[in-house]
């Protein structure tokens, strides 16, 4: 029996999207799978490795997940800071907004955040009261507040590691089709197969990470891995394993669970600087992306009969 992970983790956009969609939406664990983010690994232009597919980022993932869930929303972004403030002031508790990416290092309600750290984040804005933004921050801060000017500064994408338009938000979510979560997930499989077969292949990023870990892994890169990339990827893969099993992809579920165990196993050796062990785990991880693609392409296993 596989014990499913339940607990905290950096699922900011999936948790925010779930808040916006309400109780009849899939849980965040399924939303994360629907975004496609568990299915790959890539090297960003800034040199950082992320355990998600080449060319995919949360903005694309959110829009793709909405389509798969039979939902639609109005997305806006860009313009001047003054125009962004005007849009923000139209938000209210009866018409909230999913906002992001924002620079998490500039969200000063979070302890120890004192400046840009090149890390994105997503929140639900409930409204603006006077000169104060009211939000649900899924990083553990319900009803958090910030001065409008400070929030606008965090909403610029200058330091975010992927192409993103400043001042992006989604509002006015509508259900277009009634779908159950299993149907949504089955509909997402062809895209997952394409993502795993992307160029460059995910294994290339893992081999590059092996080189980085085996060379001069600077404190900033180690912090990226141990504070974010490893944690979120291990959880994504564990959730992918669960939901793939739910829709009958038993072999793919086993591969994703093995990936989750390998990635989760990176945390301790990277923290204590046992980089030889980390490299061994990464060598085992590299071929599993193609194994997962093949398992998904093979289709679901026939249901067992009594």
* pLDDT tens sequence across 128-176: 999 999 999 999 999 999 999 999 999 999 988 788 999 999 999 999 9
Give residue 44's pLDDT. 84
Per cent of the chain over pLDDT 70 is 98
pTM, full prediction: 0.94
Nearest to 168, CA basis, from 92, 93, 58: 58
Q: What is the mean pLDDT of residues 76-92?
A: 95
Residues paired with residue 169 on neighbouring β-strands, in sequence order:
76, 99
DSSP 8-state class, residue 47: S
147 and 287 fall within a common domain = no
Confidence of residue 303 (pLDDT cuts 50, 70, 90): low
Give residue 150's pLDDT. 97
Number of separate domains in the chain? 2
Considering only residues 119 and 204, tell me which one the structure prediction assigns the higher pLDDT.
204
87 and 162 fall within a common domain = yes
Residue 226 lies in a domain: yes
Domain that holds residue 125: 76-175
DSSP reduced 3-state for 185:
helix
Residue 6 lies in a domain: no
Q: What is the mean pLDDT of residues 43-57?
A: 88
Longest dimension (CA), the chain: 65
Mean pLDDT value across the chain: 94
Considering only residues 8 and 123, tell me which one the structure prediction assigns the higher pLDDT.
123
140 and 116 fall within a common domain = yes
Residue 87 lies in a domain: yes
Tokens of 13: 């956009």
Residue 1 lies in a domain: no
């Amino acid at each position: 029996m596989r014990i499913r992970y339940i607990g905290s983790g950096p699922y900011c956009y999936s948790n925010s999207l779930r808040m916006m969609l309400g109780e009849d939406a899939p849980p965040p664990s399924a939303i994360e799978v629907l975004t496609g983010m568990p299915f790959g690994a890539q090297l960003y232009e800034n040199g950082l490795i992320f355990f998600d597919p080449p060319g995919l980022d949360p903005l694309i993932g959110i829009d793709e997940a909405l389509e798969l869930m039979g939902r639609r929303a109005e997305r806006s972004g860009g313009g001047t800071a003054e125009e962004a403030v005007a849009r923000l002031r139209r938000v209210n508790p009866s018409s909230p907004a999913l906002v992001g990416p924002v620079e998490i290092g500039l969200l000063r309600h979070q302890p120890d955040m004192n400046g840009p750290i090149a890390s994105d984040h997503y929140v639900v804005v409930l409204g603006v009261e006077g000169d104060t933004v009211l939000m649900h921050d899924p990083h553990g801060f319900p009803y958090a507040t910030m001065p409008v000017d400070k929030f606008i500064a965090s909403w610029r994408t200058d330091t975010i590691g992927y192409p993103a338009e400043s001042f992006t938000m989604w509002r006015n979510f509508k259900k277009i089709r009634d779908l159950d979560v299993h149907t949504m997930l089955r509909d997402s499989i062809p895209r997952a197969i394409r993502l795993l077969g992307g160029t460059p292949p995910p294994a290339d990023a893992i081999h590059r990470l092996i080189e980085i870990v085996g060379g001069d892994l600077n404190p900033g890169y180690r912090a990226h891995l141990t504070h974010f990339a490893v944690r979120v990827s291990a959880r994504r893969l564990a959730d992918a394993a669960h939901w793939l099993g739910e829709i009958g992809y038993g072999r793919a579920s086993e591969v994703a669970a093995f990936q989750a165990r390998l990635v989760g196993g990176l945390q301790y050796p990277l923290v204590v600087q046992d980089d030889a062990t980390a490299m061994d785990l990464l060598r085992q991880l590299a071929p599993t992306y193609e194994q997962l693609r093949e398992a998904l392409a093979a289709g679901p296993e026939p249901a067992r009969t009594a």
